[in-house]
Amino acid sequence: MTAIVEGPIGTEAVVLDAVAAGAIDLWHPVILVAAGSGEDLPRVNATSSANDPLAYGVVVGPKLASGKAADAAGDKVNIVRLGRCKCVVDGNSVNIAIGDALVTATSGHGVKVDLTGTVNAALLQKLLAVFATALKASTADGDTIPVDVRAAGGTAKVA
């Protein structure tokens, strides 16, 4: 996997073009935000919210000289909306196992979410915030692991 420096893993992923709302690190989950004036593509930004139901996908490129996918607002980025790609995670706080559901964290990384318990509004909000499934285990913060991105997020809001 270290040979993959940008883009999805495999050819089956759905990759969409978007406009960055600011600097965005490669392999990080992004959320939808309001489009800028005259923009036809969706606008995305890094998130700093835990369990963000607006998680839209994972930014996979292009890899710029800075190592980021976007250095500034207006840069075009590629988002995996559905399919396999790399994602930066935090497996230190709560270890991530293969098959674990991932949501956003305040660090902007993916983290394991606990989906057990009584079905209530809090559990439903977590479920709506799941953006990917871990395809590799992680026990460290800042690990980059393969994930399978789900296309369910990005528009879900829980009142």
Q: Would you say domain 14-149 falls under CATH 2.40.300?
A: yes
Question: pLDDT: is 2 or 76 the higher one?
Answer: 76
Q: Which amino acid, residue 149?
A: V
19 touches 36 (CB < 8 A):
yes
Query: How far apart, in whole angstroms, are the C-alpha atoms of residue 3 and residue 65?
Result: 17
Neighbours of 121 (CB within 10 A): 9
Give the pLDDT confidence of 76-99 residue by residue, as tens digits: 999 999 999 999 999 998 999 999
Give the pLDDT confidence of 7-50 residue by residue, as tens digits: 999 999 999 999 999 999 999 999 999 988 888 999 999 999 99
44 touches 26 (CB < 8 A):
no
The per-residue b/e assignment along 36-58, b for 16 or more CB within 10 angstroms, e otherwise, is eeeeeebbbbbbeeebbbbbbbb
Per domain, the residue ranges of the chain are 14-149
Query: How far apart, in whole angstroms, are the C-alpha atoms of residue 76 and residue 94?
Result: 33
156 touches 130 (CB < 8 A):
no
Query: How far apart, in whole angstroms, are the C-alpha atoms of residue 118 and residue 115?
Result: 9
Neighbours of 103 (CB within 10 A): 25
Task: Report which of 17, 129, 139, 32 is spatially closest to residue 90, judged by C-alpha positions.
Answer: 139
Task: Report which of 83, 76, 54 is spatially closest to residue 156, judged by C-alpha positions.
Answer: 54
User: Binning pLDDT at 50, 70 and 90, where does residue 124 land?
Assistant: confident
